[in-house]
Amino acid sequence: MFKGAFTALVTPFSGGRIDTQALRNHVDFQIEKGIDGLVPCGTTGEASTLSHEEHIEVVRITVEHTAGRVPVIAGSGSNSTAEALELTGRVKEVGADACLMITPYYNKPTQEGLYQHFSTVAEKVDIPMVLYNVPGRTGVNMLPETVARLATIPNVVGLKDATADLKQASYTRQLVPDDFIILSGEDTMVYPLMAVGGSGIISVTSNILPGEMAKLCRRFLDGDMAGAAELHHKLLSICDAMFVETNPIPVKAALAMMGRIKNELRLPLVPISDKGAASVRAAITDFGLI
Active-site residue list: 132, 160
Cβ atoms 93, 67 nearer than 8 A: no
Which residues, in sequence order, are CB contacts of 17 under 8 Å at separation 6+?
none
**Considering Cα of 284, then 278, then 255, then 52, what sign does the dihedral take?**
positive
Which residues, in sequence order, are CB contacts of 259 under 8 Å at separation 6+?
none
State phi, psi for 91 to the nearest 5 degrees: -70, -30
Which residues, in sequence order, are CB contacts of 219 under 8 Å at separation 6+?
225, 227, 228, 231
Residues 258 and 286: their CA atoms lie apart, in Å, by 13
